[in-house]
Amino acid sequence: MGQQTDRAKHQAVGDDALAAHDGLPRRQRTVVLSIMMAGTTAACISQSMMIAALPTIMHEFAVNAALGQLLTTSYIFMLGLISAMTAYLVNRVDAKKLFVAAMLCFVAGCAAALFAPNYPLLLASRLLQAGGAGIALPLIQVVALSVYPRNEYGRAMGLVGLIIGFAPAIGPTVSGFLIDFWGWRSVFIVLGAVTIVVIALALPLLTDVMKREGKRERFDVPSGLLYALGFCAIMAGTTFMEADGSLSALPVLALVSGVAALAVFARRQARIDQPLLKLACFRNRTFAVATGLVMIAQIAFMAGSIMVPLFVQDVQGLSATSSGLAILPGALLLGVLNPVTGRLLDRCGPRPLIVVGSAVLAVGTLAFAACDASTPEWAVTALFGVRTVGVACLMMPMTAYACAALPAEDLAQGTAIITSFRQIFGALASSVLIAIMAQASSNDLGIDAFGFGVSFEVQAAVIVAGFVAGMLLLPRGKARKAA
């Protein structure tokens, strides 16, 4: 009788009271995540909105394609670098103040871009925007994991996946309409206005939801410099290699210098008491393997989002609008599927998602390798959608699974590592895959059906390797709380 009475009391209290034992009550959780998701969506969609504006900006500021493309690639890279710093910030600053500061940084970048009189100032304003995005993106992941109970981490990451998945992919389509009607500077007016509204809502409604142990964190400046310089050197070497089409002395020197700086960085993280990134998290096999699968999914999605539009325009001879519309349904599908796959992780564990995700992603990737100029446009759109299903099964579910394997005090470090590595390695790997495509192609444009196919075959091999590692190395069953 006593047990039945207790059970009845719990049922009468409802979901809000039950959630309070581990996470936040549902209403408070909804308010917090809704506000933060709106601001982070603006920051994430900004990373790809300059793609449609590049021809106009290149003409207005008299810059070439390589410099024009930096408006997008430097944004992604800066986002990844700043994300590495957020573990320190999350442990020092309450979530509300940190989120508002990130949004103010992003608004300042939008204002600077709106009035930028030349290319260098426009590029600097993009880096300022990326600084805000680099704080907001890992922050919302930490907050989502904090306000949901541990057994609903999949659902939490599924909601965050609505932002991470499709926001950057729909950026070119949204900005294309804005640019056609009001010019490229209108993009920053819209983004800035949305962010100002978010700040106005965050000030009275957001509360600090993070739990801290009270120890004083110290930012290790040498680690920050080594991390930034290492990856910047590798990115520069990869860019030089892609431009020259060969391994000349300059890209090799940049690559070697970058790897050496990162090796020193990794060694330093193991020796200091308060590392910038707690690389010791990779000693947890579940975290290490799941993070690897996240990176593979990010590489597949980012490379596809860049290369498929190039294929549609330069191989099939269709318009830029057609190339953007070819990937739009897949991007929207990713947003729809992320919450679904998150719940499936909570119910079924990681293995079914790894099997389905890897199989679907590999099949879709190999099918792309067989495409040529005569492939119907609808088939390209369908194949991109098929690959999106595989990405949805891997990216956010494996993020949740990796974080669930860590103790609560390492959640900020875990999300910082995953977000930073996902962005940086996704950008680097995309550059390498595009270089492979260019080397295998036989025309001056650096893309033909054969080169496109070779690049996707390499992607398929990486996906299969990730599947084997996931099935052999991950434990059976659902994510278990780390000791």
d(CA 17, CA 404): 23
Q: State the CB neighbour count (10 A cutoff) for residue 300.
A: 30
Contact of 438 with 446, CB cutoff 8 Å: yes
Indicate the residue type of 140: I
Does the pTM of the predicted model rise above 0.85? no
Contact of 368 with 360, CB cutoff 8 Å: no
Contact of 178 with 158, CB cutoff 8 Å: no
**Structure tokens, 163:** 């932002």
30-65 in b/e burial notation, b at 16+ Cβ within 10 A? eebbebbbbbbbbbbbbbbbbbbbbeebbeebebee
**Structure tokens, 386:** 């098929």
User: Of 51, 338, 77, which Cα lies nearest the Cα of 170?
Assistant: 51
What DSSP string describes 319-354? -HHHHHHHHHHHHHHHHHHHHHHHHHHHHH-HHHHH
d(CA 452, CA 61): 31
Q: State the CB neighbour count (10 A cutoff) for residue 282.
A: 15
223-240 in b/e burial notation, b at 16+ Cβ within 10 A? bbebbbbbbbbbbbbbbb
**Structure tokens, 367:** 């099918």
d(CA 277, CA 274): 9
What DSSP string describes 426-451? HHHHHHHHHHHHHHH--STTS--HHH
d(CA 47, CA 69): 11
d(CA 381, CA 364): 11
Which segments of 280-319 does DSSP mark as H helices, in order?
285-310
d(CA 120, CA 118): 6
**Residuewise pLDDT in 10s, the chain (483 residues):** 444 444 444 443 444 443 444 555 677 777 777 888 888 888 888 877 776 676 678 778 887 655 666 777 778 778 888 888 877 787 777 878 888 999 999 999 999 999 988 888 998 999 999 999 888 888 887 787 777 777 777 777 777 777 766 677 677 777 777 877 788 888 899 999 999 999 998 888 777 666 555 455 677 888 888 988 988 888 788 777 766 656 677 878 888 998 999 999 999 988 888 888 888 889 898 999 999 999 999 888 888 877 887 788 778 887 766 777 788 888 788 878 878 888 888 888 888 999 999 999 999 999 998 888 888 989 999 999 999 999 989 988 898 889 888 887 788 788 888 888 887 888 788 778 877 887 787 776 567 888 888 889 999 999 999 898 888 877 765 544 443
d(CA 184, CA 57): 8
User: Of 282, 224, 303, 263, which Cα lies nearest the Cα of 255?
Assistant: 263
User: Of 243, 191, 220, which Cα lies nearest the Cα of 73?
Assistant: 243
d(CA 84, CA 431): 21
